[in-house]
């Protein structure tokens, strides 16, 4: 991927209005209905005659279905139908994978419901349709299935070995693709092997990015209403527009006969950037029965069957000279696809491929990635999608290089990062970083956290051999946001564009409807878009309503992911507003009997230059064109406008995160003492929303470092199948966050925004791990596997290594997890 | 997350409850606060035919003083425990441990008796009851009987409560600060609302610079809560000092048989038991 060089991009410069609203910490206008439960979530939707679906899911990871009898389930009360894969084999097609990252990528196809083989625990094998949700759940127990077990493939490093059992018999190995980016070959850098051959110092590490579960708050839910040959689908999705196109292609329902609505959606984090098997099944069942159907997953189903994230084994080599000048970077990645390729499964590691060099001036770089099939639920986008993996690897290995060289980790970073005067900077990976000042962010963060004091305390604790040691960890990161220039996506073989659409409707009373193709699921688009439009049109914030998430209302859209909404979707809104002003100017000039050139537009009012106080407001123009009694010849009587914006480059938020960590050397317990982050996300439209995004992102990034891990046992069962065992932190477990910002507006869009949705999640994970290691490195610890459970930290201190593999550690154990245990032995007479 | 169908009884007295249990047949579950039973029923890991709900049995709720004992009704909620003045004065160890139970929502519904009758070794209250030598009053068709804590916890999730019986009261000794008692519940878990990986309940009585009695209960160090007997014995009569406490705590894992699970392997739990016992004792002894 190279930065877009074509200056003739269809991007006319837009003048931003004076910022009255932009920059205000407006409380989010959507929150009142969300937090009082007054909104309508998908699962609240009740339609006359609506039926309920429940899925029977495979309890085994890899098997042939040798017998499947649903007749008894059909006889259960209130059951209307029971379907198996055989019932839909001819019409279900394959779930889409939109990103064939290499020309020879192998995609085995992905049925929505298994036909004769299951490839991961949780795969649907039968669907019960009943008049009530409880009847559907009850009838699942009457379905009889026999499985003939096949060897289970779980470990990527074993899966790629010759002779490994195969996940899919139909293909010759467990490797889906081999993706390579070589800066030498691309002409963006020197020869990597030569750089390593010449290097004075090399450091190599193997890092494990554990498997994570997006764990959004609102479970997935879908309702489909068929009306003869028209279909309306409500879904708790991030991507109603993409879903509509894909569902039409999969099911053969003509696109114009399918309307998709995402009502208020309770979180996604990438987990709802998907075309789900259950969404397709709901369409197939509704079409078969001609009745509305609903499916809402349980939390257990969500953790087991919704796509997971991360899951990479990273082999990273860095080359440098003795003075600490970096010379080369080499990454070899194994990325766990799971059993199938879902919407952008193979593309997630590729999104990270260009970010491994981080903010450093590597002269040489090579990246290779194998996408590997295993008998686990597929992976796909999860907050950051590719960039956290890259950021973790580079920020961790910079600390390891610093240790090898005996240098201060911050000094090593300073020596190698891109200087503020060097922007725009084309990296060894071919990206053009837009703007920023890494030194400024770092200085500010050091001050925020009270760095010198912490270092002094660390020294005291070391000298007194305090059982609680203190460590300080850095992450000086950048990421790639504003997905994405369509032509770049095309060059990477992605199946769609990266533009966004917006339209503005001026109502007769002067009120404003903004229709956006960016579909929010918690981000606060309604508030931020209202602030943008209030400034651009000079109308009150309260006069703006933002409409979204319904393909019948917002016909074009690319939806919300990749920190793209404000950068791309917000720019489309600004451009649409500019068109509204242009159209209104012609009408106003006519009404004021003046030349358009003589008009100025300030504070929502057109007036003849030099005669302030007179003139006509844009809201009055809206009424004038509604009446349409008096408007110029040759133009249409409307000032509504639409714009589609295709970005010319990515945007590159950056920042410096510093974590101070206490490690209890007696127990291995780690506790964040202080956390400071200074982020440059460009121009800030709403500081309150930005801070909220930072806090949430930090919580998730810290959670990867300390708490979250999806674990499968040796048979391929998800052991962390509930929130008892898949640990999410609460506010009680997280420190106070000291957040700050520097502002270097993104030059690529008129707002100057860079994106903030993923920054905290991307940056924080390595800062936390680096901090823990800094606390115990003097005890001989050089790595601890994530999440940093107390036991792992303790074992790394007392037994060496990285603390070990939790799944392996317990595979032969008698022990059971708390939830299972509670269960297994609820005996008679127990009083609970 | 939908339980299988079941019959439901909601008695208002202990007698009615016993009758409902008797009539319920072979597969009865008694519902107290429901913080363990309801989740496993929703997962269909338990599917009782009859659920007898005790939430309307007012007589099972509350704390009273009887001579040198406190009597806690089995249906007293954790939230009630946290605000009870008698418990605060005479059983601060119970209060301290209860503060660490799960989260605010769970403590609002969950009950003292329910948690003890469930007897999850990772639960916080069984080890406390054991350390305090609590007595369990169990009602049954043949009347009431009292079982000491040492005999109440029989095995993993199994207690001395027989089929057809009901836990009605828990009797606790008064361990007041005025009498030299200091207490500490030292809990080790990964996130605030999680189960204990290991926890230690300690009560230490001091007199004139010496320890006269120590009671130590261990959470999640075996299929039932355990007493750290060797440590207790080693502490009697010793000077109150970090050295004596540390030496005694080194024996805390003796006789334990903790499990291996995702949170910890057995050897690590045994190590934790020693560290946490030392810390709990030091805090309880005012060091």
Whether residues A467 and A580 share a domain: the answer is no
Pick from A584, A612, A645: which residue ends a domain?
Answer: A645
pLDDT score of A714: 96
Alpha-carbon span A96 to A344, nearest angstrom: 9
DSSP secondary structure code for residue A18 in this structure: P
CA distance B285 to B213: 11
Judge residue B179's burial from the number of C-beta atoms within 10 Å of its C-beta, 0-12 exposed, 13-18 middle, 19 or more buried. Answer: exposed
* CB-based contact B262 A819, cutoff 8 Å: no
pLDDT for A613: 75
**Res A468: pLDDT:** 98
Among residues A596, A133, A187, A75, which one has the least CA distance to residue B2? A133
In this structure, are A656 and A577 located in the same domain?
A: no
Q: Looking at residue A666, which CATH number applies to its domain?
A: 3.30.365.10
Give residue A810's pLDDT. Answer: 58
Are B30 and A831 an interchain contact pair (Cβ–Cβ within 8 Å)? yes
Given CB atoms, is A831 within the 8 Å cutoff of chain B? yes
User: Which fold, B7-53?
Assistant: 3.30.43
Q: How far is C-alpha A191 from the geometric centre of its chain's CA atoms?
A: 33
B194 contacts in chain A (CB < 8 Å): 724, 727
What's the pLDDT tens digit per position in A465-517? 999 999 999 999 999 999 999 999 999 999 999 999 999 999 999 999 999 99
Whether A440 is covered by a domain: the verdict is yes
Q: Which residues of chain A have pLDDT under 70?
A: 1-13, 808-832
d(CA B264, CA A810): 9
Entry pTM: 0.95
Q: B-chain residues within 8 Å CB-CB of A719?
A: 262
- Is there a domain that residue A367 lies in? no
Q: What is the pLDDT of residues B119-129, one digit of tens each?
A: 999 999 999 99
A186 inside 8 A of chain B by CB: no
What is the distance in angstroms between the Cα of A789 and the nearest Cα belonging to chain B? Answer: 7
- A583 and A708 fall within a common domain: no
ipTM of this model? Answer: 0.96
| Residue A741 within any structural domain of the chain | yes
For residue A641, what are the domain limits?
31-39+499-645
Q: Is residue A270, in this structure, part of any structural domain at all?
A: no
Positions of chain B with pLDDT lower than 70, given as ranges: none
Q: Where are the domains of chain B?
A: 7-53, 64-173, 181-284
pLDDT (0 to 100) of residue A17: 86
Domain assignment present for A102? no
Chain B residue numbers with beta carbons less than 8 Å from the beta carbon of A733 are 191-192
Nearest to B167 among A133, A823, A831 (CB): A831
The CATH code of the domain at B64-173 is 3.30.465.10
pLDDT for residue A12? 54
| Dihedral-angle region of residue B207 (phi above 0 means left; psi in -120 to 50 means alpha; beta otherwise) | beta
Residue A810 to chain B, least CA–CA distance (Å):
6
Residue A455 lies in a domain: yes
Burial of residue A66 (CB within 10 Å: 0-12, 13-18, 19+) is: exposed
Q: Which residues contact A3 (CB under 8 A, 6 or more apart)?
A: A426, A430, A431, A432, A649
Residues in chain B: 287
CATH class, domain B181-284, is alpha beta
Please spell the DSSP secondary structure of B205-273, one letter per residue.
EEETTEEEEEEEEEESSSSS-EE-HHHHHHHTT-BSSHHHHHHHHTTTTTT--PPPBTTB-HHHHHHHH
User: Same domain, yes or no, for A605 and A659?
Assistant: no
Chain B partners within 8 Å of A711 (Cβ): 262
- The CA angle A263-A264-A268, to the nearest 5 degrees, is 110
How close does chain B come to A405, measured CA to CA in Å? 34
Q: Do A450 and A509 reside in the same domain of the chain?
A: no
* Smallest Cα distance from A731 to chain B, Å: 9
């Amino acid at each position: 991927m190279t930065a877009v060089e074509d200056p003739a991009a269809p991007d006319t410069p837009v003048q931003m209005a004076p910022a009255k609203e932009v920059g205000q910490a407006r409380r989010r206008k959507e929150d009142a209905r969300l937090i009082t439960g007054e909104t309508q979530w998908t699962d609240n939707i009740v339609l006359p005659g609506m039926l309920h679906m429940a899925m029977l899911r495979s309890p085994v990871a890899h098997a042939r279905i040798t017998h499947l009898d649903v007749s008894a389930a059909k006889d259960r009360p209130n059951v209307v139908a029971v379907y198996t894969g055989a019932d839909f084999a001819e019409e279900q097609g394959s779930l889409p994978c939109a990103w064939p990252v290499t020309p020879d990528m192998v995609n085995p196809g992905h049925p929505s419901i298994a036909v004769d083989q299951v490839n991961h625990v949780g795969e649907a094998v039968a669907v019960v349709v009943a008049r009530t949700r409880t009847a559907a759940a009850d009838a699942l127990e009457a379905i009889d299935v026999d499985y003939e077990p096949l060897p289970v493939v779980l470990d990527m490093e074993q899966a790629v070995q010759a002779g490994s059992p195969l996940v899919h018999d139909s293909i010759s190995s467990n490797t889906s693709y081999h993706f390579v980016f070589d800066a030498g070959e691309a002409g963006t850098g020197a020869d990597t092997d030569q750089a390593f051959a010449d290097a004075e110092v090399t450091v190599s590490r193997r890092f494990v990015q554990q498997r994570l579960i997006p764990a959004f708050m609102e479970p997935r839910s879908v309702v489909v209403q068929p009306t003869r040959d028209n279909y309306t689908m409500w879904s708790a999705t991030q991507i109603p527009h993409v879903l509509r196109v894909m569902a039409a292609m999969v099911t053969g329902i003509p696109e114009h006969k399918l309307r998709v609505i995402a009502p208020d959606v309770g979180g996604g984090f990438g987990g709802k950037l998907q075309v789900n098997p259950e969404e397709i099944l709901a369409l197939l069942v509704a079409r078969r029965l001609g009745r509305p159907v609903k499916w809402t997953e349980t939390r257990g189903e969500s953790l087991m069957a919704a796509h997971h994230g991360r899951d990479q084994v990273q082999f990273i080599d860095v080359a440098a000279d003795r003075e600490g000048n970096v010379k080369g970077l080499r990454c070899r990645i194994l990325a766990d696809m799971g059993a199938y390729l879902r919407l952008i499964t193979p593309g997630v590691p590729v999104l990270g491929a260009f970010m491994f060099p981080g903010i450093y001036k590597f002269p040489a770089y090579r990246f290779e990635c194998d996408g590997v099939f295993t008998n686990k639920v597929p992976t796909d986008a999860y907050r950051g999608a590719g960039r956290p993996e890259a950021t973790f690897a580079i920020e961790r290995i910079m600390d390891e290089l610093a240790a090898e060289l005996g240098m201060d980790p911050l000094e090593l970073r300073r020596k190698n990062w891109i200087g503020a005067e060097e922007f725009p900077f084309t990296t060894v990976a071919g990206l053009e970083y837009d703007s920023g000042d890494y030194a400024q962010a770092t200085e500010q963060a050091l001050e925020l956290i009270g760095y010198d004091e912490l270092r002094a305390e660390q020294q005291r604790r070391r000298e007194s051999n305090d059982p609680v040691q203190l460590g300080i960890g850095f992450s000086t990161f950048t990421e790639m946001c504003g997905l994405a220039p369509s032509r770049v996506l095309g060059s990477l073989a992605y199946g769609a564009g990266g533009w966004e659409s917006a339209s503005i409707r001026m109502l007769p009373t002067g009120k404003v409807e903004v229709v956006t193709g960016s579909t929010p699921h918690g981000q606060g688009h309604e508030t931020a878009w209202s602030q943008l439009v209030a400034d651009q049109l000079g109308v009150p914030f309260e006069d703006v309503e933002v409409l979204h998430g319904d393909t019948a209302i917002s016909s074009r859209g690319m939806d919300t992911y990749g920190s793209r909404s404000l950068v791309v979707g917000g720019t489309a809104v600004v451009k649409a507003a500019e068109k509204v002003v242009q159209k209104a100017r012609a009408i106003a000039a006519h009404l004021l009997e003046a030349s358009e050139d003589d008009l100025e537009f300030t504070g929502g009012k057109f007036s003849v230059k030099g005669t302030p106080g007179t003139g006509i407001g844009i809201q009055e123009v809206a009424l004038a064109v509604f009446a349409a009694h008096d408007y110029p010849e040759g133009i249409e009587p409307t000032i509504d406008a639409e714009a589609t914006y295709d970005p010319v480059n990515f945007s590159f938020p950056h920042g410096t995160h510093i974590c101070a960590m206490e490690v209890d050397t007696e127990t291995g317990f780690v506790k964040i003492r202080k956390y400071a982050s200074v982020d440059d996300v460009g121009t800030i439209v709403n500081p309150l929303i930005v801070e909220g995004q930072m806090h949430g992102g930090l919580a998730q990034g810290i959670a990867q470092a300390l708490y979250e891990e999806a674990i499968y046992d040796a048979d391929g069962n998800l052991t962390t199948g509930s929130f008892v065992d898949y640990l999410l932190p609460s506010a009680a477990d997280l420190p106070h966050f000291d957040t700050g910002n520097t502002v270097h507006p993104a030059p690529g869009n008129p707002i100057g925004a860079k994106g903030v949705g993923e920054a905290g999640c991307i940056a924080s994970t390595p800062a936390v791990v680096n901090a823990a290691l800094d606390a115990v490195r003097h005890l001989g610890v050089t790595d601890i596997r994530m999440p940093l459970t107390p036991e792992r930290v303790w074992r790394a201190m007392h037994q060496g290594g990285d603390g070990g593999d939790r799944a392996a550690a317990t595979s032969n154990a008698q022990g059971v997890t708390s939830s299972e245990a509670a269960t297994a032995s609820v005996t008679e007479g127990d009083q609970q | 997350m939908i339980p299988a169908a079941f019959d439901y009884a909601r008695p208002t007295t202990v007698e009615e409850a016993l009758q409902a249990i008797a009539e319920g047949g072979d597969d009865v579950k008694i519902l107290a606060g429901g913080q363990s039973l309801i989740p496993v029923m929703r997962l269909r890991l338990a599917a009782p035919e009859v659920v007898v709900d005790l939430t309307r049995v007012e007589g099972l709720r509350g704390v009273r003083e009887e001579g040198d004992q406190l009597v806690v009704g089995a249906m007293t909620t954790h939230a009630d425990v946290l605000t009870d003045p008698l418990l605060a004065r005479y059983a601060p160890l119970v209060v301290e441990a209860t503060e660490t139970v799960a989260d605010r929502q769970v403590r609002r519904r969950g009950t003292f008796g329910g948690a003890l009758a469930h007897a999850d070794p990772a639960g916080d209250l069984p080890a406390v009851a054991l350390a305090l030598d609590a007595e369990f009053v169990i009602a049954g068709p043949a009347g009431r009987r009292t079982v000491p804590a040492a005999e109440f916890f029989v095995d993993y999730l199994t207690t001395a409560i027989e089929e057809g019986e009901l836990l009605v009261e828990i009797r606790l000794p008064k361990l007041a600060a005025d009498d030299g008692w200091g207490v500490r519940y030292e809990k080790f878990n990964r996130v605030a609302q999680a189960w204990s990986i290991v926890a230690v309940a300690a009560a230490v009585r001091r007199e004139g610079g010496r320890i006269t009695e120590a009671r130590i209960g261990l959470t999640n160090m075996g299929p039932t809560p355990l007493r750290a007997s060797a440590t207790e014995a080693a502490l009697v009569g010793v000077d109150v000092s970090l050295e004596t406490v540390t030496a005694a705590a080194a024996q805390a894992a003796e006789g334990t048989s903790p499990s291996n699970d995702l949170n910890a392997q057995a050897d690590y739990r045994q190590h934790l038991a020693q560290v946490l016992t030392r810390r709990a004792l030091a805090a309880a002894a005012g060091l």
